[in-house]
């Protein structure tokens, strides 16, 4: 099953991750080199709460079983990689400021393949091809690769047994 949460805060994520096992944890939102922004209802700012990579990792580590795939599709999430290296065997991060449409194109291509039975790496490659196909305005996009993949090298990156459609994965 897929569980989707909008405008979640730290407490929501804590409750979700400790209540169930997730193969995929996906965050789409705003980020900075210092972390990701989560909504916080009692905070009187428009930007939400900045959650550091250390705190984000500690939340992910509270899960009964770590996710197999973590996607943090927010600006500059790749800068969080050194602290998030242990979050999951497969991690998809963004290395710069990224426009919403670039993330949406990537997500559509990625999940189209992943939920169709392809592996994580094949799904990632397909999504990057889809994204490059839409980024034809060179002046606007400067032919940059907005989404980067980081695969933890000390874990087996072979994901042939990872079939989210069959395993009933959830997305947060």
pLDDT digits (tens, 9 = 90+) for 25-73: 998 888 899 999 887 655 455 568 899 999 999 999 999 998 999 999 8
Nearest to 128 by CA among 140, 141, 146: 146
The answer, yes or no, to whether residue 136 has pLDDT greater than 70, is: no
The answer, yes or no, to whether residue 153 has pLDDT greater than 60, is: no
Q: Could you give the CA distance from residue 161 to residue 163 in angstroms, rounded to a whole number? A: 6
Higher pLDDT, 79 or 145: 79
Q: What is the pLDDT of residue 146?
A: 47
- If one counts every other C-beta atom within 10 angstroms of the C-beta of residue 156, the result is 8
């Amino acid at each position: 099953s897929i569980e989707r949460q909008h405008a979640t805060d730290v407490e929501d994520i804590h409750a979700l991750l400790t209540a169930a096992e997730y193969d995929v944890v996906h965050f789409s939102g705003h980020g900075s080199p210092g972390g990701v922004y989560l909504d916080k209802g009692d905070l009187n700012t428009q930007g939400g709460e900045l959650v550091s990579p250390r705190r984000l990792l500690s939340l992910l580590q509270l899960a009964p079983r770590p996710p197999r795939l973590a996607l943090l599709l927010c600006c500059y999430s790749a800068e969080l990689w050194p602290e998030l290296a242990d979050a999951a065997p497969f991690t998809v991060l963004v290395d710069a400021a990224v426009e919403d449409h670039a993330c949406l194109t990537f997500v559509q291509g990625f999940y189209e393949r992943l939920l169709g039975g392809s592996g994580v790496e094949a799904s990632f490659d397909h999504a990057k091809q889809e994204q490059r196909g839409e980024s034809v305005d060179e002046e606007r996009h400067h032919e940059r690769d907005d989404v980067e993949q980081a695969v933890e090298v000390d874990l087996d990156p072979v994901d042939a047994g990872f079939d989210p459609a069959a395993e009933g994965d959830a997305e947060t």
